[in-house]
Amino acid sequence: MHYLNHGDANPHGIIISPLQKGKPVYLPFHSFDKEMMQHVFRTHGQKINDITRDSAICINFDQNIDVFYEPLDVLKYDKINITFKLIDNLEQVQKDQLHLVDKFKNGNNFIDEGIHQQLLDSAKIFGDLRDRDLSLHPLQFRTDSFYTRAFDGVYLLRDFIKPIVIFESKEHYKEAIKDTIHDVLIYHIDQPELVDKLKDHLIIECDLETLVKTPNYDRVKKFELAQFLKETEHPIKDILNDNVLFKSYLNKIDINARKQVMSVEIYLEKLEHSNAYKIEDIVDQAFYFALHQPHSSLSSEHRDLIHKLLINIAPMDVLFLYWYDKEQFYINYLTWDDSFKDWVIERIRNNI
């Protein structure tokens, strides 16, 4: 849909086959694009099957915003009106055919060879459209919390205690914080305070004692070790998969790196003896952020959105990065060691 847009505020889409039903949206501009397309197919599925036999359907998503002027214009997203137009103006062609048929039936026009030819020409090009239902009534879609590519990437979380706007671009963040009109919280995605605020609003949570037993933690810890492995005697994939090799190479890296890789377990071990230790003094910040999860109280739609936000804050779980931000995954993938790529691919294949 993204490549069809006339500017960020005017998204469009196209349906050329009913086989698009349930398929991912190519480069979605908003996190809710898939839901909108599901809404379209749920409502007009039968007509789409018929129309796309010989035509395509252009979709206009109108959020009543002609163009974006300021970063906080994303707050205007509310209801999106979805309208449809058929390629080749098939609806008008149908009206023309019906008009010709009425004309043909009128008086002695049934012997008019000119009308005969017009009907035949239209039928050869477009088929017999007389009895087909080509009308697709407009739909409406209501947004709640979402991510948009507008302004180089913005998260809008507005179903919680107070609306939170999170910018991926420092430039647009700096512009947005000058706003004195809107009663919203504004953050840049790299601000550590953001994670604290998300926890305060019960949007994310992190139970380290539970997480250290999960595949999520295992992937993040191994990702962390892989960053310190240089000129290894064994393939990185083997090092990360084999416990003996993992421990061997863990002991080969310098002590500070070793503490960073094992920081969560070191912290939990220290907590058993005293609660005086602060997590920020022991656990690497990015490592800690990467272990946060959407709050268990969230709906499935919100969980997906928050997973995407968290993986953008700390892109250390390669599986979640693949699931929730494929575009960034492939950018990062190009920078990885070939053997590490093999390990990543194995993680993905094992979770299909």
pLDDT tens digits along 50-61: 888 888 999 988
Query: Tens digits of per-residue pLDDT, 264-292?
Result: 999 999 998 888 899 999 999 999 999 99
pLDDT at residue 55, as a whole number = 83
Residue 110 and residue 50 in one domain: no
Split at pLDDT 50, 70, 90, the class of 161 is confident
**Rounded to an integer, what distance in angstroms lies between the CA atom of residue 316 and that of residue 312?**
9
Judged against a pLDDT cut of 60, whether residue 4 lies above it is answered with no
Question: Per-residue b/e over 62-84, b at no fewer than 16 CB within 10 Å?
Answer: bbebeebeebbbbbebeebebeb
Q: Would you place residue 235 in the very low, low, confident or very high pLDDT band (cuts 50, 70, 90)?
A: very high
Q: Residue 251's pLDDT band (boundaries 50, 70, 90)?
A: very high
Q: What is the pLDDT of residue 231?
A: 87
> Is 99 found in the same domain as 70?
no
In-domain check, residue 102: yes
Taking residues 67-80, report their average pLDDT.
85
In a domain, 19, yes or no: yes
Let me know if residue 335 belongs to a domain.
yes
Identity of the amino acid at 304: D
Question: Quick one: average pLDDT of 110-117?
Answer: 70
Cβ burial, residue 101 (10 Å; 0-12/13-18/19+): middle
- Whether the predicted pLDDT of 84 surpasses 70: yes
**Same domain, yes or no: 276 and 328:** yes
* 229 Cβ contact partners less than 8 Å away, ≥ 6 residues apart: 236, 239, 249, 253
Question: Of the residues 98, 126, 154, which one is the last residue of a structural domain?
Answer: 126
Question: In angstroms, rounded to a whole number, what is the distance separating the alpha carbons of residues 88 and 31?
Answer: 31
Interacting residues of 161 by C-beta distance below 8 A, sequence separation 6+: 200, 201, 202
Residues with Cβ within 8 Å of residue 330, at least 6 apart in sequence: none
Confidence of residue 109 (pLDDT cuts 50, 70, 90): low
pLDDT at 114: 74
% of the chain exceeding 70 in pLDDT: 91
What share of the chain in percent tops pLDDT 90? Answer: 62
| Higher pLDDT, residue 40 or 87 | 40
Task: Give the distance, in angstroms, between the CA of residue 227 and the centroid of all CA atoms in the same chain.
Answer: 27
Task: Answer yes or no: is 177 within a domain.
Answer: no
Q: Is the domain of 67 the same as that of 119?
A: no
Same domain, 318 and 195: yes
**pLDDT surpassing 60 at residue 6:** no
- Tell me whether residue 276 is in a domain: yes
Determine, yes or no, domain membership for 159. Answer: no
Residue count (the chain): 352
Please tell me whether residues 285 and 214 are part of one structural domain: yes
177's enclosing H/E stretch is none
The confidence score (pLDDT) of residue 10 equals: 64
Are 61 and 36 a contacting pair, CB within 8 Å?
A: yes
| Residue 247 and residue 229 share a domain | yes
Is 309 in contact with 328 (CB distance < 8 Å)? no
Residue 96: per-residue pLDDT = 73
Q: What is the pLDDT of residue 240?
A: 96
- Domain span at residue 106 reads 90-126
Regarding whether 78 and 225 lie in a shared domain, the answer is no
Choose the weakest-confidence range: 59-63, 106-110, 165-169, 289-293: 106-110
pLDDT band at 152 (very low <50, low <70, confident <90, very high): very high
Tokens of 328: 């960034």
The pLDDT score that the predictor gives to residue 282 is 94
Residues 262 and 328 in one domain: yes
Give the pLDDT confidence score for residue 1 in this predicted structure: 47
Specify the range with the lowest mean pLDDT, choosing from 10-19, 115-124, 179-188, 194-203. Answer: 115-124
Is 22 part of a structural domain of the chain? yes
Q: At what angle do helices 243-250 and 215-226 cross, to 10 degrees?
A: 50
Question: What is the predicted pLDDT for the residue at 210?
Answer: 94
Across 13-30, average pLDDT: 87
Question: Do 212 and 325 sit in the same domain of this protein?
Answer: yes
Q: Which residue has the higher pLDDT, 96 or 264?
A: 264
Q: How far apart are CA 118 and CA 98, in angstroms?
A: 12
Q: What is the pLDDT of residue 112?
A: 65
Widest distance between CA atoms in the chain: 102
- Alpha-carbon distance of 287 to 4, in angstroms, equals 38
Alpha helices per DSSP H over the chain: 33-51, 90-105, 113-126, 170-176, 192-200, 208-211, 215-226, 236-241, 243-250, 255-261, 263-271, 279-282, 285-290, 300-313, 318-324, 326-333, 338-349
Looking at the structure, tell me whether residues 99 and 17 fall in a common domain.
no
Which of 74, 89, 104 is the last residue before a domain boundary? 89
Please say which residue of 89, 114, 147 terminates a domain: 89
Give the Cα separation of 148 and 168 in Å (integer). 11
**pLDDT classification of 2: cutoffs 50, 70, 90:** very low
Beta strands 185-188 and 164-167: pairing type? parallel
Burial class (CB in 10 A: 0-12, 13-18, 19+), 265: middle
Continuous segment of H or E residues that includes residue 166: strand 164-167
212 and 108 within one domain: no
- Number of domains composing the chain: 3
Q: 169 in a domain, yes or no? A: no
